[in-house]
Structure 1
């Protein structure tokens, strides 16, 4: 209930202040991850904040610039888009869609699975690229997902995203045949030792994956010692030994350094009482004063207890959830690798709100080591934030009531209030005696006769049910 209360009342602050640095952090993580190899099967990446989602092997790759034909307007100038030659076809399609629909909500964008990727070649027609087809490399019970390097897509190539033609899937299913000429591209693949059939203008039937066949992209998940070796050499020998943990940490730190500014900006915005002219939401001041008042009433003088109450109330209950789940705020798609990176940031935010001394050793998780030097500064921000709020003028009950009425007016018609009241009534009925006893013990509640008024409301609901 407290989480939902904050979610409702901090909506404006999130929209006008904290939303921007959160979105920029999300975009920065996505962009950094996509600069290097990202395994489509395991979700591991070369650039990561999470050791659990870090590719341990050395993957060779090259950056390519593809010229993507713009569907709107037709015939417009091609859009240059950077991809990696080790990207799967679907990963390439996602990057092309990101460029073509930059800034568009994810729910309003075409889906990669609904589109085909065509490689346009002068004099050789259009080559249809797919993650799996009859050219896919199979070794034992392992099948490798096709990449741009598998098709030998070159830098500066022209590509196009076209609607998926479901009617073309079963071209040979009725006993017919697909005739096509042998292109220069097929000849090149045959002479270079690659598979000798490709999907051109008419797609070739892809046989169903045999039972027990396992897909892999860059690294075979069953053997962490086997490196993908990249695809840059057209399927050269697999190589790569497991790197030592010190190298892992170095790569994690490199990614962390790239994202540092975005993490700092988000934390500074969330832990500031007046950031960029945005005033502190009244709900935060009201709740923190309530917690201090409860501590005074119960004779709790330990500052760590008050600090922990406030941390559990707002940062850990609300902000951590928002940081880990930006898709709750924005119309975006959160991939597993992005989720892993955001979880590291959220864990750092949680550690910043803790009062316990952090003891680090050689066996400490990388998530703790990564931000160990930054943690004292972040904890100082949290303590300053709590002190600044405590020094602010207390909000009167009348002002808070007016604030809540105004928030209700702003969002009138957006919620089913009767359903909400029904849920509250079920809660009140379940704990009726406990609530009435608590109201009777509280001086403010007795003064305003909240107990008898609640009993009248319960009687009224029963009389109309």
Structure 2
């Protein structure tokens, strides 16, 4: 807190008054950015000041977590350092995408790369990174959520084929891993190339694999419980579901 007998206009413009003391003539001010102020340039200056204050702490936190982020990315984007064999479904799915690209004469590498990124890393892994409570019985508070959002954004940038042009006004979460992303991108490219070199999976082998997975996990799922959850959902949203059904029928007739 800062006490001032006569606060200058520049201080008053960017720091909101909390309570005036009418007897002594002093005023109490919080040293925080005034988000309601109309002067955009003053707000930008305050935001820049806050960013610089926390930059050292931000870099220290990144240094602490760097090894864990590297280990995570290397494990995901590797066919050798996984602790277990690459699931057959991934190889089968990537080969299917390559076959479709060949069938439609799509030779652009970026297109094939984007297809594979969208169907696995960006569809599955980003959700797991951003929402660990989907997998683990944990509580994710707002601070943890913000940190995981930075890691998830870095993960998405690593899967992109476009160049990320950054400047001094770029957000800190983009600048934080800017030097690491080219290395992560090389891991993604190597991962897709290594999978392409693996022996093809036949339809019979894939069917046998899925049947074996169903057998192994048969006792882990309760079909009646799943039906109960679906029933509860339909009961709650039955009016919306009926209206949506009628709307689809009307569109078909049109």
- The verdict on a shared fold, with TM-score over 0.5 as the criterion, is yes
Q: Of 383, 389, 395, which aligns to 2:201?
A: 395
Q: 1:384 matched to which residue of 2?
A: 190
**Residue 133 of structure 2 contacts residue 139 of structure 2 at CA under 8 Å; is this kept in 1?**
yes
Structure 1 counterpart of 2:65 = 259
Tell me how far apart the structure 2 counterparts of residues 286 and 225 of structure 1 sit (CA, whole Å).
Answer: 53
Cα 1:301/1:276, change in 2 over 3 Å = closer
Q: Equivalences for 1:341-380 in 2 at 5 Å? A: 341-380=147-186
Mark the CA change 1:276 to 1:411 in structure 2 (over 3 Å): closer, same or farther: closer
Alpha-carbon distance in structure 2 between the residues aligned to 1:378 and 1:280: 19
Residue equivalent to 2:223: 416
* Secondary structure at 2:218 match in 1: coil
Larger helix percent: 2
1:82-102 per-residue CA deviation (whole Å, 9 max, x = no partner) reads xxxxxxxxxxxxxxxxxxxxx
- Structure 1 residues 324-346: Cα deviation after superposition (integer angstroms, max 9, x where no partner): 01111111111110010001000
**Within 1, Cα distance between the matches of 2:69 and 2:76?**
11
State the distance in 2 between where 1:247 and 1:271 align. Answer: 35
Matched residues, number: 191
Where do 1:133-172 residues align within 5 Å?
none
User: In 1, distance between residues paired with 2:33 and 2:162?
Assistant: 38
Which residue of structure 2 lines up, in the alignment, with residue 293 of structure 1? Answer: 99
Partners in 1 of 2:51 and 2:136 — Cα distance?
A: 36
Distance in 2, matches of 1:317 and 1:276, equals 19
Which one has a bigger Cα radius of gyration?
1
> Deviation digits for residues 20-63 of structure 1, max 9, x if unmatched?
xxxxxxxxxxxxxxxxxxxxxxxxxxxxxxxxxxxxxxxxxxxx
**Cα-to-partner distance string for 1:261-306 (whole Å, 9 max, x where unaligned):** 0100111111111215411111111111110011011000001000
Which residue, out of 269, 277, 280, partners 2:86?
280
Q: Map 1:312-351; keep pairs closer than 5 Å.
A: 312-351=118-157
Q: How far apart are the structure 2 equivalents of 1:328 and 1:396?
A: 32
Q: CA deviation at 1:245?
A: 3.4
Q: CA RMSD in A?
A: 2.7
Cα distance in 2 for partners of 1:366, 1:292 equals: 37
Structure 2 CA distance for aligned equivalents of residues 266 and 314 of structure 1: 15
Closer, same or farther in 2 for the Cα pair 1:265/1:362, shift >3 Å?
A: same
Q: Give the whole-Å Cα distance in 2 for the aligned partners of 1:248 and 1:289.
A: 46
The equivalent of 1:192 in structure 2 is none
The answer to whether the 8 A contact 2:76-2:82 is kept is no
2:166/2:175 contact within 8 Å kept:
yes
Q: Which runs of 4+ in 1 moved over 4 A?
A: 417-420
Alpha-carbon deviation of 1:250?
2.9
Distance 1:262 1:323 in 2: 12
Instruction: Tell me how far apart the structure 2 counterparts of residues 277 and 315 of structure 1 sit (CA, whole Å).
Output: 18
Question: Residue 251 of structure 1: CA displacement?
Answer: 2.4
* C-alpha displacement of 1:244: 5.3
What residue is the counterpart of 2:51 in the other structure?
245
CA distance in 1 between counterparts of 2:141 and 2:180 reads 27
Cα distance in 2 for partners of 1:406, 1:358 equals 43
User: What is the distance in 2 between the residues matched to 1:291 and 1:370?
Assistant: 33
Is there any run of 5+ residues in structure 1 with no aligned partner, and where?
1-138, 141-219, 227-240, 424-430, 432-465
Q: 2:32 aligns with which of 224, 234, 253?
A: 224
Deviations 1:169-221 (A, max 9, x none): xxxxxxxxxxxxxxxxxxxxxxxxxxxxxxxxxxxxxxxxxxxxxxxxxxx7x
TM, length-normalised to structure 2: 0.69
Q: 1: distance between equivalents of 2:157 and 2:181?
A: 8
**Higher normalized contact order (CA 8 Å, seq sep 6+, divided by chain length):** 1
Shift of residue 405, structure 1, vs aligned partner: 0.4
The gaps in structure 2 that reach 5 residues or longer are: 1-17, 20-29, 35-45, 232-247, 249-254
* 1:363 Cα offset (Å): 1.6
